[in-house]
Structure 1
Amino acid sequence: MPGSPKVLIAGAGPVGLTLANELVRHGISVRIVDKAAQRTDKSKALVMWSRTLELFDDAGYVGAFLSAGLQAHGAQISTGKQVVARVSLDLIDSRFAYGLMIPQSETERILEERLAAAGVTVERCVELGGFTDRGDSVEASLIAAGGARETVRADWLVGCDGAHSTVRHGLGFAFEGSTLQSRWALADGHVTGLEPQDHLHIFWHRDGILAFFPIVGDRWRVVADLGAGEGEGGDTDPTLDDINGLMARRGSPGIVMTDPIWLAAFRINERKVKDYSRGRVFLAGDAAHIHSPAGGQGMNTGIQDAFNLAWLALVIEGAARPALLDSYSAERSAVGEKVLRNAGRLTEMATMRNPLLQDIRNTIVRFAASFPQVQHKVADQLGEMDIGYPESPLTAASGQLPDGPKAGERWPHRLAGGAGGCRFTVLGPPDLVAGLVAKFPRLAVAAPGQSAADTMTLRLIRPDGYVGFAGGPQEAARAEAYLAALAC
């Protein structure tokens, strides 16, 4: 889509593609550019967790992902000889109670094809050369293959351009954190000898972790910690013999890989910016935060950044005040900090080398996993069910409520396939709902098919599926004031 878009997106990975799809779904013009000649053909980010699936479901297009992925229903941790713990992902408090194992190549394909069907083509071999925030717009320089330059003026610029983000560098934001000293090996190939095949298999061996993640059929992702100085070759990619040797030493007997699709070595970075935006420029995904792959939270966190940032549509449409956008950095930076901390703890626990500490860890984890409430909590944390915005400027403290989600918490029910568009869904007594929708038609829409229990409370559900306001019917004036503070 040449010309001057409302939003220019740099980076066409899962985060940039999700943001583009959501903005286009809300009628906002976008251009999305990427310096790569084609989308990735690697499995890369492999799991789509429950909360992400819920958001795609609310948006109306989760089905394509479900058809292309494999449901993982559990995780097993063992030493190779003895099971330490089993976690059932069926315990996740979601209508998608599992991890969807889907290669990033497939995730990008689905998102790019959907975007193309809406009339927007990813502009490939096009690099963001620089930008200037003019106050009322952003002026950006685009460099095409061969060096041709184009100056583009957009209302907003979003950097979804990864760990080496040009947008982040242009803002001058510090990417604070560190690179872990341990080296890791990754392999994607065909594996036999693992059962059940719909589980993640994690081996806590004396020499380090060995983890298996199902992809489809007999194809698995294998990841192993090599320590800071184990073996020769520095950061050179492992061979198939290296991987099979690791599996023979650390796994249970009989596990073998053949026909590898991808072999790579990597190190873990844990870094994050403090602020996710300045002026008319925003950061999302790896451009704002990178962390350990433990728990598979990275891509999911970035996609959820995109759903949150799609609130841009309310401001662009003129339905909400620009101050609404101030909530993005406050909310998502706090989530990024939490994900960084949790992933770091999981990595530290899995990679400890001291045999005595390993025995203590195994004993504690085995004991804790015997309690159903602990199992449930772990499953919900993996599924990202515990993400909320209790301290957000958009969260109005709940009054006296019966059971149910409070302000700042996730709304567990489907939002009618995105029928409400980029508006608040109002639930409550029909007369109060009708009154609020009539006063704020550009901000609010009535929830279809309310139950009797819904009429005992008054709730405003944000477009990204979190409760903004919750109170009793007698607090209708507070709900009206909440919407009035956002409305133009």
Structure 2
Amino acid sequence: MNDPAVLIAGAGPTGLTAAMELSRLGVDVRIVDRAGAPSATSRALGIQARTVELLRPRGVGDELLRLGNRANATALYATGGKLTEIELHRMASDFNYVLLLDQSETERVLTEQLGRQGVKVERGVEVTALQQHDDSVAVHLRAGDGQSEIVRPRYVIAADGAHSVIRKATGVSFEGRQLSHSYVLGDLSLTGDVPEDQLSIFLGRRGFLAVFPMGAGRFRFMATDPDGLTGDAGDPTLAGIQQLYDRTAALPARLAGLRWSSRFRINSRHAAHLRAGRVFLGGDAAHVHSPAGGQGMNAGIQDMVNLSWKLALVLAGRARPELLDTYESDRLPVIRDLVTMTERATAAFNSTSPLAHAALTRLAPLVLARIRLQRKAADRLGQLSAGYRGAPLSADGGRIGKLRAGDRIPDAAVVTVDGEHRRLHDLLDLSGPTLLVFGDDEPLRTGLSTAVTVRRLASAPALTADPAAWLLARPDGYLAAAGTAADADRLRRWVKRWLTPDTP
């Protein structure tokens, strides 16, 4: 086969998103996966608001919304009943809930979209070694029948999981630790008083238990088992899981129909770097952490949306190679924060200390009684508050209203100069930056690259009332730069710094 521009190793949600994005942007890709067939188990369940915002204009969000079960709150319980809840309707997004769907279904939807774009996952093919060169990477592949080949893509994306062969081959360290608690996991049916439109977390004196509704009476069960109620070997049984539930949960329920169960320990780690020469790390190859909050799969998908437009522009010769360095400078601080946050949440929920338990059960209702903190908690859970302020791609980017360069641009209602009422996210060019201009755009066009799409707006009340304002939006919906007509030099500096001059 011809050498692709990009080889992607791993066909989980991270690798599939990379292949989908890059192929949509006209990049020649190959995607390989060691497993001979897609996984049939549910694994990661939660699709967060920010991920839905990114996937909807890319052709798969509507199908995920059709298939998934929506949870409108995260409720905390203790022995005496409900303590409080995080009201997800307070998220600053149209998708103000957690969408719950089997990872196997998410992967199927992504794979089908990838197929419509002319790319097929090569299964039963693994990376065994690689060597980097000045203009390519020699990647050794071995198929299930023992046949080997060497391909020489210009770049490689490692989405091959926590035990990534590629990450190890690059020598990038995987920093962190294994957390102490052992967990019980299972998919089962439940009849009782547990709502199917919320995430239910039960805080017990002997650890915690969480129940996630997957629709039609089916639930994901996760719990700590510090004193071995379910044993210490083999997969947990339905009877053992029922014992854990009865001891910890404040809502009566009968469990049945156990589809699968397992035990696991949490590794909380992240790669020291996300780029090693021509190799980029994403998803579990770059970060693994507690499942608290359902953040991991979403972070991997967002890794690839961040990387793909940059890689496509550089490969097309429309952006400077330095743009690729901003994948790490954008995403690594977000990943570090995510690993820290999930560790802290896990420590608080899992503690068997009477003092810690008492503090958590007393303080949580007081904290979440404040609307401002409710909004903050909901936006953080939905990954809406993660951004790139202060990163090189946002430096000297200015601000507009409350938005600063690096922030996610909200999907505000806007009116175009033609009088059309649109949603802002639907106006973004997904292949390159979009300049959103209020008023006369002529003063801003000098020195503007053809890689930048210009959209003229009559108004966007939620963003600004300034008739001379402009926003430069990235393809992933974050603010690159902003200002007024008097700040045209700021726009020109950004374009000159990151994009290549147009060919005469």
Pairs aligned (count) = 484
Asked if the contact 1:33–1:126 (Cα under 8 Å) also holds between the matched residues in 2, the reply is: yes
Q: Deviations over 1:243-275 (max 9, x none)?
A: 111111111353122111121111011011110
Q: Which residue of 2 aligns with 1:204?
A: 203
Q: Which residue of 2 aligns with 1:482?
A: 494
Q: Which residue of 2 aligns with 1:436?
A: 445
| Separation in structure 2 between the aligned mates of residue 169 and residue 212 of structure 1, nearest angstrom | 35
User: How has the CA–CA distance of structure 1 residues 51 and 433 changed in structure 2, closer, same or farther, with 3 Å as cutoff?
Assistant: farther
Shift, 1:226, TM fit? 1.2
Shift, 1:450, TM fit? 4.8
Q: Which residue of 2 aligns with 1:289?
A: 287
User: How has the CA–CA distance of structure 1 residues 399 and 163 changed in structure 2, closer, same or farther, with 3 Å as cutoff?
Assistant: closer
| Separation in structure 2 between the aligned mates of residue 78 and residue 173 of structure 1, nearest angstrom | 41
Shift, 1:14, TM fit? 0.2
Of the candidates 393, 407, 430, which is equivalent to residue 409 of structure 1? 407
User: How has the CA–CA distance of structure 1 residues 433 and 162 changed in structure 2, closer, same or farther, with 3 Å as cutoff?
Assistant: farther
Q: Deviations over 1:294-338 (max 9, x none)?
A: 011100111100101112101011100110001111111111000
2:441 match: secondary structure: helix
Q: Does 1:472 align with 2:484?
A: yes
Shift, 1:366, TM fit? 1.5
5+ long unaligned stretches in structure 2: 412-422
| Separation in structure 1 between the aligned mates of residue 325 and residue 439 of structure 2, nearest angstrom | 32
2:214 match: secondary structure: strand
Q: Does 1:447 align with 2:455?
A: yes
1:245 match: secondary structure: helix
| Separation in structure 2 between the aligned mates of residue 216 and residue 409 of structure 1, nearest angstrom | 34
TM-score, length-scaled by structure 1: 0.95
User: How has the CA–CA distance of structure 1 residues 268 and 422 changed in structure 2, closer, same or farther, with 3 Å as cutoff?
Assistant: same
Moved over 4 A (4+): 414-419
| Separation in structure 1 between the aligned mates of residue 126 and residue 321 of structure 2, nearest angstrom | 28
2:359 match: secondary structure: helix
Q: Which residue of 1 aligns with 2:44?
A: 45
Deviates more, 1:320-329 or 1:49-58: 49-58
Residue 378 of structure 1 aligns with an amino acid whose one-letter code is A
Q: Deviations over 1:206-251 (max 9, x none)?
A: 1110100011210000000112x53474353211111111111111
- After the TM superposition, which residues 205-244 of structure 1 pair with which residues of structure 2 at under 5 Å, given as runs? 205-227=204-226, 230-231=228-229, 233-244=231-242
Asked if the contact 1:176–1:271 (Cα under 8 Å) also holds between the matched residues in 2, the reply is: yes
Residue 446 of structure 1 aligns with an amino acid whose one-letter code is V
Asked if the contact 2:7–2:156 (Cα under 8 Å) also holds between the matched residues in 1, the reply is: yes
Asked if the contact 1:398–1:406 (Cα under 8 Å) also holds between the matched residues in 2, the reply is: yes
Q: Deviations over 1:421-448 (max 9, x none)?
A: 311010124533685398311x200236
Residue 286 of structure 1 aligns with an amino acid whose one-letter code is D
| Separation in structure 1 between the aligned mates of residue 13 and residue 338 of structure 2, nearest angstrom | 18
Q: Which residue of 2 aligns with 1:427?
A: 436
| Separation in structure 2 between the aligned mates of residue 436 and residue 59 of structure 1, nearest angstrom | 28
Deviates more, 1:409-418 or 1:102-111: 409-418
2:236 match: secondary structure: coil
Residue 34 of structure 2 aligns with an amino acid whose one-letter code is K
| Separation in structure 2 between the aligned mates of residue 437 and residue 190 of structure 1, nearest angstrom | 62
5+ long unaligned stretches in structure 1: none
Shift, 1:415, TM fit? 5.3
Q: Which residue of 2 aligns with 1:353?
A: 352
Residue 297 of structure 2 aligns with an amino acid whose one-letter code is M
Shift, 1:400, TM fit? 6.5
| Separation in structure 2 between the aligned mates of residue 293 and residue 247 of structure 1, nearest angstrom | 19
- After the TM superposition, which residues 5-16 of structure 1 pair with which residues of structure 2 at under 5 Å, given as runs? 5-16=4-15
Residue 103 of structure 2 aligns with an amino acid whose one-letter code is Q
1:431 match: secondary structure: coil
User: How has the CA–CA distance of structure 1 residues 14 and 45 changed in structure 2, closer, same or farther, with 3 Å as cutoff?
Assistant: same
Shift, 1:417, TM fit? 4.5
Shift, 1:279, TM fit? 1.0
| Separation in structure 2 between the aligned mates of residue 276 and residue 40 of structure 1, nearest angstrom | 26
1:439 match: secondary structure: coil
Asked if the contact 2:183–2:225 (Cα under 8 Å) also holds between the matched residues in 1, the reply is: yes
Deviates more, 1:465-474 or 1:44-53: 465-474
Residue 301 of structure 1 aligns with an amino acid whose one-letter code is A
| Separation in structure 2 between the aligned mates of residue 44 and residue 186 of structure 1, nearest angstrom | 10
TM-score, length-scaled by structure 2: 0.92
1:185 match: secondary structure: strand
| Separation in structure 1 between the aligned mates of residue 68 and residue 340 of structure 2, nearest angstrom | 28
Q: Which residue of 2 aligns with 1:363?
A: 362
User: How has the CA–CA distance of structure 1 residues 199 and 434 changed in structure 2, closer, same or farther, with 3 Å as cutoff?
Assistant: farther
Q: Deviations over 1:50-73 (max 9, x none)?
A: 111111123243101101101110
1:357 match: secondary structure: helix
Q: Which residue of 1 aligns with 2:276?
A: 278
Q: Does 1:329 align with 2:337?
A: no
User: How has the CA–CA distance of structure 1 residues 317 and 430 changed in structure 2, closer, same or farther, with 3 Å as cutoff?
Assistant: farther
User: How has the CA–CA distance of structure 1 residues 455 and 10 changed in structure 2, closer, same or farther, with 3 Å as cutoff?
Assistant: farther
Residue 262 of structure 1 aligns with an amino acid whose one-letter code is W
